[in-house]
Amino acid sequence: MGQKSDIYLLQEIDRKSRRSYGTDQYQRFCSDLAGYSSSFAANYKVAWVPVPLADPHGNVYSGIATLSRYRVDSAQRYSLPGQYAWPVRLFELDRCMMESRLPTDDGRQLVLANVHLSAFDKGGFIRAQQLAFLQEYAARELKSGNYVVIGGDWNHLLSSDPEAKRSEYGDSWPFWLQVLPDDFAIDGFRWAVDETVPSCRTLDRPYVRGENVEVNIDGFLISPGVEVVSVHGHDLGFENSDHNPVTVCIRLGEEASDQD
């Protein structure tokens, strides 16, 4: 929590899982951020995950969490569309979005959506459904006059030059990592991504800087009316996770819209 952010959007937070030795990570975060409002949405609750065979995940209870120093009027879990075929669906995540609504001084709402999209669906059909859902959701909230920020793990390459990034890694490119489709666009919305610091690295081998594939899949989609003051990836060397955190600083108001 060294970033001392006002709001945290967290993914893959275990409540009771063999892989994290039964630690309730959500309660740990809540304790460390005393005074923050907090909400949790489960997206992975399985009695036994049998893979990998040599050391199975076992029981998993996990999800996403949002913690805010500001008042949150409401928090709601939305199931994201798309399902794996049976029996794979018995052991996969039930992907979701956590919506938090914060009041603002001008009477509008700041709508924060914490997301963690699917990764391993062959052909990307599930991810396409989830992106379509987010397009419709964001456009509807914008039409209602709200400020909208969608942030988290998109499990898509967020790059200004995706072909150059793919060429950089060639045959090492992981099968699950897809480029964000060209048709995923919402009028007036823009991305806040720090491409100078990779936010994710591959897990097929122990981490050695320069040997793993390192890309950006974590970032923020920002609506009109929200000014991006800065966006900063934190190069922690993937010390505690296969992700590095990303911080965005925003400013709300009509003057932000006038600059677009």
Contact 244, 256 (CB under 8 A): no
Q: What percent of the chain has pLDDT over 90?
A: 82
Which residues 6+ apart lie within 8 Å of 136 measured at CB?
none
The confidence score (pLDDT) of residue 27 equals 98
Separation of CA 103 from chain center: 22
**What pLDDT band is residue 82 in, cutting at 50, 70 and 90?**
confident
54-71 residue pLDDT tens: 888 899 999 999 999 999
- Mean of pLDDT over the chain: 92
Q: Are strands 109-116 and 147-153 parallel, antiparallel or unpaired?
A: parallel
Burial of 134 (0-12, 13-18, 19+ CB in 10 A): buried
pLDDT digits (tens, 9 = 90+) for 240-254: 999 999 999 999 985
Q: What is the mean pLDDT of residues 80-94?
A: 66
Run of H or E residues at 22 = none
The mean pLDDT value for 99-118 works out to 97
**pLDDT tens digits, one per residue of 191-237:** 999 999 999 999 999 999 999 999 999 999 999 999 999 999 999 99
Long-range contacts of 17-20 (CB under 8 A, 24+ apart): 17/57, 17/58, 17/59, 17/60, 17/61, 17/62, 18/57, 18/58, 18/59, 18/60, 19/57, 19/58, 19/60
Phi-psi map region of 125: left, alpha, beta (phi>0 left; psi -120 to 50 alpha): alpha
Q: Which helix (H) or strand (E) holds 246?
A: strand 246-252
Q: What's the pLDDT at 86?
A: 52
Tell me whether residue 25 is exposed, middle or buried, using C-beta atoms within 10 angstroms of its C-beta: 0 to 12, 13 to 18, 19 or more.
middle
Distance CA 16, CA 125 (A): 30
pTM (predicted TM-score): 0.93
Indicate the fold that domain 7-258 takes in CATH.
Answer: Deoxyribonuclease I; Chain A (3.60.10)
DSSP 3-state of 89 = helix
8-38 pLDDT, tens digit per residue, is 999 999 999 999 999 999 999 999 999 999 9
Pairing of strands 226-233, 147-153: unpaired
Measured distance CA(160)–CA(158) in Å, rounded: 7
In the predicted structure, residue 87 carries a pLDDT above the cut 60: no
Cα within 13 Å of Cα(77), Cβ side: 13
pLDDT for residue 258 is more than 50: no
pLDDT at 259: 41
At 89 the pLDDT is 52
What's the mean pLDDT in 65-82? 96
